Every structure is written in structure tokens, then in C-alpha cells.
Amino acid sequence: MTPSLLQIGRLAPELEAELAATFPVHLLAKEADVPAFLERHGSTFNGAVTSARVGMDATLIDALPNLKVVSSFGVGYELLDVDALKRRGIVASNTPDVLNDCVADVAFGLVIDAARGMSAADRFVRRGDWLNGAFPLQTQVARKRLGILGLGRIGQAIARRSSGFEMDVRYHSRNPVQDVPWQHEPSLTALAEWCDFLVVAVAGGPSTRHLVSADVLAALGPKGFLINIARGTVVDEAALVTALTDKRLGGAGLDVFEFEPRVPQALMTLDNVVLLPHIASGTFETRKAMGDLVISNLKHYFADGQLQTPIA
Ligand code: DGY
């Protein structure tokens, strides 16, 4: 099969250049009238490239009658309509594993920053407040309790990082994970009651929406910290804003938001929350490895019909 690819949204310039040097590819994002373009040319594409940020909905999938393969940049794929793809027998890949370390590093960075108030202390110095007195005491990380929601590859990388901090680790997931040294907690609320830091590392999508509810935040309590490097939708963001504002939660470190890139205005003025613009996988090395995987999945597919990292 001769490849003919449709690129749905923009990617990093280096990846776009490499993609275009490897395959015939058309960038849909540049079309002013997308429906008219698809009506006229939709049948010419047998492959598509998208990303975790952009995804692909059923309307777009239906507009590509000869689509056979989708290669998506990023590990999350809740914006990709997998059911619509399956109905048509279209296969899809994502870019797992290569980002585990980078995402786990940011999760741990957020644990330390939220507990020790490092970003707030930086603002304190820049404002010149140090001249008027010392920065308030904060919370220790070493030997505290780390709770992880979702013990997939990223959750396990986070758990491994905790050993240098001599932390006690437990996790909650739908089913216990085999052959890991950490204790499974059958209820998320019980995990939140037990831990000092609750790190969200579960996939997004309808099945995990608002798993971290007002009740879970109440169980975490005024000394507890919530860290989210997964998807904003997993947390009831309105409940989180209220808990942080009322100091019913110790603090939070957030790389993702429910309606990103929009961040609730109320969080902007709070010092008990660290806000990051979804950067967990954002290093030169990791983004290059993700891009390489997008391309090698397509090369494999067009060579022998097999994807390297298929979405199950
Ligand atoms: C991912 O790969 O899913 C990251 O969150 C970037 O979107």
C-alpha cells in the first residue's frame, strides 16, 4: 500500500519536517474550509497523524473512507475515538514508555515544590519580601506517605523515585498490579486518608472523570497534597479550587487542567498551588523519542501491516 497521510494538527517543526521527508503528507490544519476539503479529498488518505492534544473524532474518521492507520503523538488517547476506529477496523498507535521518566520527574518535582513551597519562595525573593523577614516554614517530603492513583508505567516510575526519599508507597487502581512491592489500596478514599501526597497517574477519559472528587479531597485533608500529571478531567477542578481557597487541602501541584489551556482564575493568586503548562513530557530528548515513534509506527505499518506500539 502506498502511504498517503493526513496530518490533523500542528506538530513540532522538526517532526513535521521529518514526517514530510518520509511520507507524502498533507496538513489539514492549514485548510480554511476543512469540511469542503474533506468532501473533495478525504478518500485519498489511508493514514493519519494526530496527537494526544488534538485527537480525532468520529466525524473526521467518517470523512476519511479509506483510512487504515492512525499514528498519534503522545501517550494519552482519550481524544481519539477508538470505538469509531475499531468499528472500521482502523488500527492506531500512541507513544508510550519513552516519556515515563520525564513525566515521573515532573511528578516528583511537583511533590517537592508543593511541599516545600519552592515556586512561592521564588516569588517571595523576586518581590523583595526576604528583606522584611524569613519565608514561612513548609512541609518535609522524606519519609512521608505517597499514594499513587493508577500504577501503570508512569505510576511505577513515580513510585521508584520515592525510594531515595524513603517514602512509604501505596496505590489504588481498578485491579491490583502483579509483582510490585507496593501495597494496593482497594478504595481511593482510603488511600487519600492514608497518604500525605496523592499523585494522579491514571489515564484520562470518561471512566476516570472526576475520580478525585470533593470527598477524596476531604479525605486528603488540610495537611495533604494533590499532584496531577495525568489529565485535568480526573479531578473535580471546581472542588479542588474551593478546597485550596478554603485551605481544606494542604496544597497542590498541577501540570494539567480540566479545560486547559484555561486555568481557573482563582488559582492564579493562591500560593498553595504550583501551576505548570502541561510540560511533563516536554524535554528535547523525550519529544524526539516520541516523534521517532510516530514515524516508526507508520514505517512498520506500511512495510508489514504491524504497528510497533498499538493502542490496545
Ligand atoms: C501525553 O503524551 O499524553 C502527554 O500528556 C502530552 O499530551
Respond yes or no: is residue 258 known to be catalytic: no
Any ligand 1 atom below 6 A from CB of 53: yes
Q: Give the pLDDT score at 218.
A: 98
In ligand 1, the atom with minimum distance to the C-alpha of 76 is 3
In ligand 1, the atom with minimum distance to the C-alpha of 52 is 7
Respond yes or no: is residue 231 known to be catalytic: yes
Q: Which residues contact 175 (CB under 8 A, 6 or more apart)?
A: none
Q: Give the pLDDT score at 88.
A: 95
Respond yes or no: is residue 127 known to be catalytic: no
pTM of the model: 0.95
159 vs 199: CA distance, rounded Å: 10
State in Å: Cα 75 to ligand 1 middle.
5
Distances (CA, A) of 225 to 14, 172, 181, 269: 38, 16, 23, 18
Q: Give the pLDDT score at 212.
A: 98
- Domains of the chain (ranges; CATH) run 5-96+284-304 (3.40.50.720), 100-275 (3.40.50.720)
Q: Give the pLDDT score at 30.
A: 85
Any ligand 1 atom below 6 A from CB of 52: yes
Regions of the chain where pLDDT drops below 50: none
Closest C-alpha among 10, 224, 226 to residue 110? 226
ipTM (interface predicted TM): 0.93
38 vs 8: CA distance, rounded Å: 12
Cell reading at 63 = 470523512
Q: Give the pLDDT score at 29.
A: 85
Whose CA is closest to atom 3 on ligand 1? 76
Closest C-alpha among 303, 307, 299 to residue 90? 307
